[in-house]
Copies of this chain bind each other. A is one copy, B any other.
Amino acid sequence: MVGKAHPTSYMKVGMENMVDISVEFGRLRLSNPVFTASGTCGYAGELGEFMDLDQLGGFVTKSITAQPRMGNATPRIVETDAGMLNAIGLANIGVERFILEKLPALSKIKAAVFVNVAGETIEEYVAVAQNLANQEAVAGLELNISCPNVAKGGISFGTDPEQVREITSAVKQAAGQKMLMVKLTPNVTDIAVIARAAIDAGADALSLINTFTAMVIDIKERRPVLANRTGGLSGPAIKPIAVYLVNKVYNEAAKERRIPILGMGGIRTVSDALEFIIAGASAVAVGTGSFVEPACAARIVEGIRKYCADNGIASVKELVGSLGE
């Protein structure tokens, strides 16, 4: 059992250097299991002031679409108990400008770069994937079929196993050698069914969870606070649901197919990250947590190293899916 070893601080110093926190994420080997989540860290440049991006295991960009998108009207966010709603509406500069203006900087960081791909039609998704397939700086694509904040596309692709299969295999083909990670929505009856559909259609990895569709009402005005009416709930509020879903997908879909999971939803501390890893995630992503503390992800990397050292765990890989009876 963990927690019973009590090395002296001298030993700990030694241990921390000996601990291996690198992980295998499909065919990628990452220096550590911590990513930033899509939409919460821009295109990397902005965060550089607050944290050394080389410390991250992976970096996921804001969703990119074939054409630039202005996004929704404001208010686009509202705070809730232990969480927030957002309805940004996939505001982004479009894949062409992304490649020209943002990718060069991204190519310099050590973290594995995943570009989050979104669209309103399968063709749009495919177009973005084709554009990125030959970009060396890109380690993989994250297929966003789970955005609750756009009228067309987005989540509607992610709730029906048949559509998941179709879009996944289309994008897989377009993505060439790039690793394809499919991002799942929690707004479904059985997430394992969707996970298996994605895997069957060629997904190399799964990421979960995206946000829950939700609403906050201004009781004075008697209308929704967000201009988009609804938004996606993220943050610590959803963490226990996210941990459960990661464990479910791990047990019922990912484990036997050896498909790695990127777990997220409310991660803010080392202990939150470890819950996801123990539940079955090979890596974790920090989203809303970065708003409260821009260097949150980097702090978690160090915390994981310390946890392993303190508990005599030689490699963080031992922890993945180690949830006991």
Contacts and interface: CB of A to CB of B under 8 A. Distances in A.
Interface stretch (A20-28, A105-113, A211-219): A211-219
Contact of A237 (B1, B189, B237, B247): B237
A1 B319 CA distance: 56
Interface string A206-225: 00000011111101111110
A236 interface: yes
A93 interface: no
Contacts of A279: 215, 217
B82 A81 contact: yes
Given A82-B83, A278-B217, A323-B224, A212 B241 contact: yes
A177 interface: no
B80 A323 contact: no
A121 interface: no
Interface residues of A, number: 48
A215 B278 CA distance: 12
Interface in A62-107: 80-83, 85
B233 A240 contact: yes
15 contacts: A2-B221, A3-B220, A80-B236, A81-B237, A159-B189, A159-B190, A213-B241, A215-B244, A215-B247, A216-B240, A222-B278, A222-B322, A222-B323, A223-B324, A224-B323
Given A3-B221, A214-B243, A223-B323, 17 more contacts: A1-B221, A2-B222, A80-B239, A189-B189, A212-B241, A214-B241, A214-B244, A215-B247, A216-B275, A217-B279, A219-B307, A221-B324, A222-B322, A223-B324, A223-B325, A237-B237, A237-B238
Interface of A: 1-3, 80-83, 85, 159, 187-190, 212-217, 219-224, 230, 233, 236-241, 243-244, 247, 266, 271, 274-275, 278-279, 307, 319, 322-325
